[in-house]
Structure 1
Amino acid sequence: MLGGARSGKSGHAEALMPADAAVRYVATARLDPGDPDWTDRIREHRVRRPSRWSTVESASGPGLAEILSSGDGPTLVDDLGTWLTAEMDAAQAWELPRGTLGPRCDDLVDAVAGYPGRLVLVSPEVGLGVIPETRSGRLFRDEIGALNGRLAGVCDEVLLVVAGLAMKLK
């Protein structure tokens, strides 16, 4: 599920999950107590999840590829942009060459390709706008674009959400 900021991609992804299933929701965002706006966004996501869903916080514990390798039930990952940001932070890769996170991305693509159950991924599409002014902005845009392309290659279905409307790409 690709889309821009506030496009409705997370809500659409949640609606794709089986209505009566115990869904595993993998949250990739890291709470920042100093950022009330970010805290509110995370709270909005938490409040709308059904109580029967379990939440796994990927920022504290095993990595995303490891989480996906340990289950087979309906799983929703929201979102790959915050996952990639956390990985770049952990590796101090913001000033390193493109592709530095290749092995971590390889592990994720392999885990997605081998996932035996229903898996929905949410990821930002950032390559449709203005070219970022900073190197780190361009690096993130390039890395998430390459990751999205690789994941689209192994996923059965790819949707793009624009203005709340989902369009099937694959």
Structure 2
Amino acid sequence: MPSPDPAVRAKGFEGFRAEAHDQGAVDPCTAASLPFLFAMADDPANPDRATIVMLLLSMGSEAQERDPEGIYFTVNGVESTAHVDITAEMAERTDAFVRYAADPDPLVRRPAIEAVGLFLADGGRAARIVAERLPAAHGIVERLLIVRTPARLAVRLVNPCGVRVGAR
């Protein structure tokens, strides 16, 4: 994935998704990959930063949707708490998402704005960070995302257990 060759990078990302995050997988190898992915996203010279930030958002979202007390198993039948580990790592790395939300590249900013609303535990700070992005937002897509994110943040704060609204 860090190859300078675009074709090699594309093949690396495809292989990674197939093994670590295919169909919303939340397993130990997904959790183990987070430091590597954050390091790649932190590198301003990396041409795939937007893809990586979007992947981090997707991985964290999938993990957060699982019941923290639930028992889950890998495809090999091994009990896994990777969803808890991934959720904790995302909460610990919110400052990275805050930085990405102010990135000059709108494709990096968009998933990062959503991640700030999803993972930052301090709801007031998350709301301020997202609101600060509105004057600098480029285009209707980013502005709508900034407006939608506080609504999702409000649902998360009212429903701190992570249970989806409307779930039974």
When normalised by structure 2's length, the TM-score is 0.33
Higher relative contact order (CA closer than 8 Å, sequence separation 6+): 1
TM-score, normalised with respect to structure 1: 0.33
Greater Rg by CA: 2
Relative to total residues, which structure has the larger strand share, 1 or 2?
A: 1
